[in-house]
Chain A
Amino acid sequence: MTPLHAKLMRDLWRIKAQAAAIMVVIAIGVALQIMMSGFVSSLTLTRDAYYERHQLADVFASVVRAPNYVESRLADIPGIRTVETRLNSRASAKVDTREFSISMQVLSLPLHGRRHLNEVRLTQGRLPYAQRPDEILLLESFATAHSIVPGTRLEVTLNGVRRWYNVVGTAQSPEFIYFAAPGEFIPDDARFGVIWMGRPALAAALDLEGAFNEALVSLLRGANKDAVLDQIDQVLDPFGAPGSYGLEDFPSDRFLSEEISGLEVTSSTVPPVFMLVAAFLLYIVTSRMITAEREEIGLVRAFGYSKREVASHYLELALFIAVTGAALGCLLGVLLGRAMVPVYTTYYKLPFLLFRLEFASFASGMLLSIAVATLGGVWALRGIFRLTPSEAMRPPTPPDFSHSISFKKGVFARLDQPTRMVLRRLMRQPWRMLGAVIGIASGMALSLAMLIIYDGFDVAIDRTFNVVDRSDATVSFVRNVPLRTIYDLKRMEGISRAEPVRFVPVVFRNGLRTYKGSITGLSPAPVLHRALDKDLRPIALPERGIVLSTPLADELDVQVGDTLMLEIREGRQQTVMTQVAGIAESLLGAPAYMDLAALGQQIGEPDRFSAAYISMRDGWQSKVYADLKDMPAVAGISLRSEAEEAFQRVMDEGAGSARFVMGVMAFAITFGIVYNVARVAQDESARDLASLRVLGFRHSEAAFVLLGELAVVVLLALPLGLWMGTGLSHLIAQGFSTDLYQVPVVFAPKAYGSSISVVVFAAGFSGWLVQRKIRSSDITLALKTRE
């Protein structure tokens, strides 16, 4: 070990607490980078391999009923590689553990040997035999949630007919990586399932022999997807097609893809904040060390060491801290990544998910930390290159404050001397103060923004489940039922209110902008489920025109009064023009509302509805479920409380840990900055502090001079952090909000409060540590030695 290396190790030991604080900041930055980019590649690779191996279709097209020969007409469309048809329907299943039926999706399963599109991945048992119409395959997550194993019998109501089926196996499918019960977007394994059964059996049950109601298409490489979609729609139009769509509009894929791109964005924006803060800290620590060791530098230079050798000594110190921090970060990133795998597999049903340590992100974390150390170090090292050995060995002249504020006038004249010292010191090093203020504010902004977003989710839950939807349950029917059915419901004992609703698939068009969605037809002056304006007042649905939700109006770029084209994909399949009569607030999906009667007229199928919102009397729930079970037209019941609970559960689990992580991040950054700035300031003013003590100042009075400086930095950082955090939350909300769901930015006093407390606590803690050090320092020693 060379003498300079020995010095390096001793220096590191001396500043160990400061070095550790910087290492933590770097480690968090690198860990986040490693974890997030690791998941980007793990999720992407797993998804792509899964899609490829199980041949997930590129295009989905559903119809009411099309004869099988149409399949060959689709196959003739240029650009299409394979076409397969299948049957896709809703059903409900009864399990022992629940009072009422669970909504299910039923798909036909091709039972002959060759490879098919959307192949399932058998996880247990076997595929159903072609000649056994009562054998079914069950979605693995649903089976697990209800402890259903192969060999169990399951009661399923399909097309109004209740039958018992034998579960012969469980499976996963690339179609159902992310899925939720109809109308919801938070997965709840127990409340939504998929059944696969042989096509003949399903065709018989649905009266669809010799026909199909869904086509799956895979495209040739380089095919023009939009052109293919148009031609598919032309072929299928006569058979009641709501419009074909590509994989990118397929909900499961959209959720997964958005998760991946969200991670990509986050991984390229958040870690750099930590790295910049680390560079700043390395700068102030290294430059302080160089100032304090000026004379030693002069001495070793006089011995014949070159500037480069001396500079590289200090650079090595910065590099050691940075690289150790990065190595810790890599380890932490891998551990975090591994720990996050079960979180992902809870929501994303992938056949496997291995957290991949990306060598590239490992290398980039290391390189970034080296760059950070070099940036911070070299900036500080400029000082060495300016000094000649003889200059260096002369003690520095006392810092010149002759240009600072005089404090002779006005209120300033009343400032006591310690306060003047604080203010003048701050103003003498404005860049350091600014760096510290911006650094703390950035750390605070990151955590505050996420906390605001989480509060926004809470508001979204409350608004969606308590303000917009005030029903207890939604009863859905297997087909549209006549209006009198609502009276049947109202007459049921235990039901206090029932309101009809109709969902009609439709393509909205405004010029080149199109959106495939649906119209919600509501009864006049509804109570249970309402369209609300931005002040949350109910909107009276007009007899003419349509009310669009904000995300839909944005998507189509229309305002109140504009005309919109509707291609109705039900009934007579008309195309009509209508006026936008209002804009409704919505946080879940992108609904459009019309008056139920007006909608019926428009479709040419009046006085029918597809579902009903009900409210129930307390204690009557079981009776209501039992009665509804006896209504053959009922496809399923979804309880609002269960949907809310599922949402809340995800939020509590996710938000709880996220809040903790955000708190740790803000704490680490604030602590790292405040502690390092304080220690450096303490070093610089050790003599001043000792002098003050000698002059008869108490510990607290002397500490004020040092900590007052930090208090000002923190006080400036707080409003800046609040401002930056609020701005950032708007950006994040915009990034998160899609037509699937919107994240509102709300005034979140709790988020403000907790981010302020974290920063104040971190600052207070570092202040306490520094103050303890002041207390234990020997005042006589400081007076003897010269800077």
Chain B
Amino acid sequence: MARAHETEANHAFKVQNLTKTYGEGHSAVHALRGADLEIGDGEIVVLLGPSGSGKSTLLNILGGLDRASSGTVQFRDQNLTNMDDRALTNYRRRHVGFVFQFYNLMPSLTARENVELVTEISENPITAERALELVGLTKRIDHFPAQLSGGEQQRVAIARAVAKQPDVLFCDEPTGALDSATGRAVLRVIQDVNEVLGTTVLLITHAAAMAAMADRVIHFADGQIKKVELNKNRVSAEEIHW
């Protein structure tokens, strides 16, 4: 699979000299110190690095959850850097899906309803049933989060994220709260989404082994991108061990 090379001309993201500073003066924290990056459409990108290395900050900025202090971020032909709050909300609504370490499901909604929460406000969604089928949860469709295991909850979260057919799927430690078998199943789902729907995936992890499933691996340290690796031989999720 040489997807990275095929899609080089179609950039999902183009990041130039991106910085992010929290606070001012002596207490200022430089979370990102000038990142440059290009991510192709349809790629799986894994962001690796220790805590506080800037990967979550980059993910938040690319996901439209936060704004950069300087530099530019281009999503296809849109410039995220200049967007106001409303435009960022629209960006998230149209183009972005999120999966988090702690699932963030609405406890008061069933699995189906959690997915419908998103399809109701999307322009071109697949049905909740189809999304849950994609993550293999057809049988537990009317269960509330409290009735689901951690892995099942994370699969609902993925179904919710992909149901709108987003252009990009952001996953922040999606397996962080799961045992490795369940984690692999979740990664399989993410990989399926990428392959079936062609969704670009950005995945943050502490587990270096996951780099094997990526087209592109970005190494972070001290708020900077230290290294970008291209992986021409992606492996399937089942083969990953950590």
A binds B: yes
Contact of B146 among A398, A696, A698 (CB under 8 A): A398
Please, how many angstroms separate the alpha-carbon atoms of A693 and B66 in the complex? 12
CA distance A598 to B114 in the complex (A): 85
**A775: shortest Cβ distance to chain B, in Å?**
9
Which residues from chain A sit less than 8 Å from chain B, CB to CB?
Answer: 397-402, 404, 406, 416-418, 420-421, 424-425, 428, 687-688, 690-699, 701, 779-780, 783-784, 786
Chain B residues with Cβ under 8 A from A690's Cβ?
A: 104
Complex-state Cα separation, A694 to B65, whole angstroms: 7
* Chain B, Cβ-Cβ closest to A408: B142
Verify B92–A696 contact, CB threshold 8 A: yes
**B109, A695: Cβ atoms closer than 8 Å:** no
A residues near B120, Cβ cutoff 8 Å: 416-417
- Measured CB to CB, the closest approach of chain A to B144, in angstroms, equals 5
CA gap between A401 and B96 in the complex, in Å: 28
Closest to A422 in B: B108
Partner of B100, one of A400, A697, A783: A783
Q: List 20 A-B contacts (CB under 8 A).
A: A400-B107, A400-B147, A401-B109, A401-B146, A417-B114, A417-B117, A691-B105, A691-B106, A694-B65, A694-B104, A695-B93, A695-B118, A695-B121, A696-B121, A698-B89, A699-B85, A699-B89, A780-B60, A783-B100, A786-B102
Interfacial chain B residues near A687, Cβ < 8 Å: 104
Which one of B108, B116, B143 contacts A428 once the chains associate, using CB atoms below 8 Å? B108
Q: Are the CB atoms of B98 and A695 closer together than 8 Å?
A: yes
- B106 pairs with A688, CB closer than 8 A: yes
Contacts of A417 in B (CB 8 A): 106, 109, 113-114, 116-117, 120
Shortest CB-to-CB span from B138 to chain A, Å, is: 17
Residue of B65, B85, B143 with most partner-chain A CB within 10 A: B65
CB-CB < 8 A to B66: which residues of A? 780
Chain B positions within 8 Å of A688 at CB level: 104, 106-107
Choose among A399, A701, A779 the residue that contacts B107 (Cβ–Cβ < 8 A). Answer: A399
Residue from the list B56, B98, B117, B146 in contact with A418, Cβ < 8 A: B117
How many Å lie between the Cα of A780 and that of B109 in the bound state? Answer: 22
Measured between beta carbons, the chain B residues less than 8 angstroms from A418 are 117
A420–B146 Cα gap in the complex (Å)? 17
Complex Cα spacing A786 to B173, Å: 14
A401 and B148 alpha carbons, distance in the complex (Å): 12
CB contacts (< 8 Å) of B113 on chain A: these are 417, 420
Residues of the B chain whose Cβ atoms lie less than 8 Å from the Cβ of A399: 107-108, 146
B49 on interface, CB distance cutoff 8 Å: no
B contact residues, range:
35 or more
B26 contacts the other chain (Cβ, under 8 Å)? no
Within 8 Å by CB of A424, from B92, B108, B118, lies B108
**Which of B89, B104, B107 is A401 in contact with, Cβ under 8 Å?**
B107
Residue interface bits B50-76, CB-to-A below 8 A is 1, else 0? 000000100010010110000000000
Would you give the 0/1 interface string for B98-142, flagging 1 where the beta carbon is closer than 8 Å to chain A?
101010111111000110111011000000000000000000001
Residue in A closest to B115 when the chains form the complex, CB atoms: A417
B145 on interface, CB distance cutoff 8 Å:
yes
Beyond A399-B107, A421-B106, is A695–B145 a contact (Cβ under 8 Å)? no
Minimum CB–CB distance from A690 to chain B (whole Å) comes to 8
Closest B residue to A424 using CB positions: B108
Is the beta-carbon distance between A421 and B65 smaller than 8 angstroms? Answer: no
Beyond A398-B105, A428-B108, A699-B89, 9 extra complex contacts between A and B, CB < 8 Å: A399-B146, A402-B143, A402-B144, A417-B114, A417-B117, A695-B92, A696-B94, A699-B85, A783-B102
Residue of A nearest to B97 (CB): A695
* A779:B104 contact, CB within 8 angstroms: no
Minimum CB–CB distance for A786 against chain B, Å: 6
Q: Is B227 an interface residue (CB 8 A)?
A: no
Asked if residues A696 and B106 are in contact (CB atoms below 8 Å), the reply is no
Q: How far is the CB of A216 from chain B (nearest CB, A)?
A: 77
The distance in angstroms between the C-alpha atoms of A397 and B146, with both chains bound, is 7
CA gap between A635 and B121 in the complex, in Å: 84
The CA-CA distance from A418 to B113 in the complex, in Å, is 10
A784 CA / B66 CA spacing, docked (Å) = 14
Closest chain B residue, CB of each to CB of A701? B121
Neighbouring B residues of A695 by C-beta, 8 Å: 92-93, 98, 117-118, 121, 160
